[in-house]
Amino acid sequence: QTCALPISAIVVSLCVSWIAALIQCMLLKTLSTLKKGTLPQRTSNFWFTLGVLPLGLGFFLILFSVVFASLTSANYLYDHCLEHQGHPHLCFSHIAHNPPGGVIFWGILSLGLVITFVSGARFYRQILFTRRLAADAMLSQSLSHDHGQISVLPSALPAAFTAGLFAPRPYLTFAAMGKLSQEEVSIVLSHELEHARNKDPLRMLFLQFCESWLPGARLIRQNWEMRREVEGDSAAIRRGCKPTQVAQT
């Protein structure tokens, strides 16, 4: 039972998260149909919170079950399973021992392991990609600009992006610096600094992890990406850049 408790809690929590995401997906598709294919405009923070909500629900359920079981083991709470010995029910500590609980438990566990392995592989690839970016960033030169610090990479590919999970920084390549005017560099930097301020690379990693196994997470991530780009352009306008120049850049 000691071994079955955490495993059962994780399995049931994964199921609850998946079901919550499925309900969320159905509601969003229904709302999109009613709005003729367009969802209501919300901030990127709204879409991020909506995307990780099923995952947060699962973590809360795991925490609740472990605390509840600990209090029961310490005799602070009465073990309700003693009232229904041999009865098949979804109790975290007895699900694997009472038929048909064992069949349900091991079936869901097997499916959960497959989903977890696929999600973990995708998540690991994203981490490796971020580490490669960090390694390339070691070759960058840090320059001061009117709107803040910018790192310039020695690359012939014109690109601008924000990288870093916990301390994100905006990056430009030498090729991009050569193609952009001083005003355009200010616009790009203002846009990327907004991504860095919101820690968007870390948020993207969370949403991609949810997308790998939760239904409807891709739709939420797409709406989040759209809103974060709009907010980045709005930040450039607030810093004094002309709206028409921001759109052209």
What are the pLDDT digits (tens) for 23-68?
998 888 888 777 776 666 788 999 999 999 998 888 888 788 777 7
Distance between the two ends of the chain, CA-based, in angstroms? 61
Q: Whole-angstrom Cα distance, residue 81 to residue 92? A: 10
Q: Is 99 left (phi over 0), alpha (psi -120 to 50) or beta?
A: beta
Segments in the chain below pLDDT 70: 1-8, 37-40, 72-73, 77-106, 108-109, 112, 130-131, 133-148
Global pTM?
A: 0.76
User: Residue 76 has which token pair?
Assistant: 């602070």
Angle between helix 217-238 and 44-73 (nearest 10)? 130
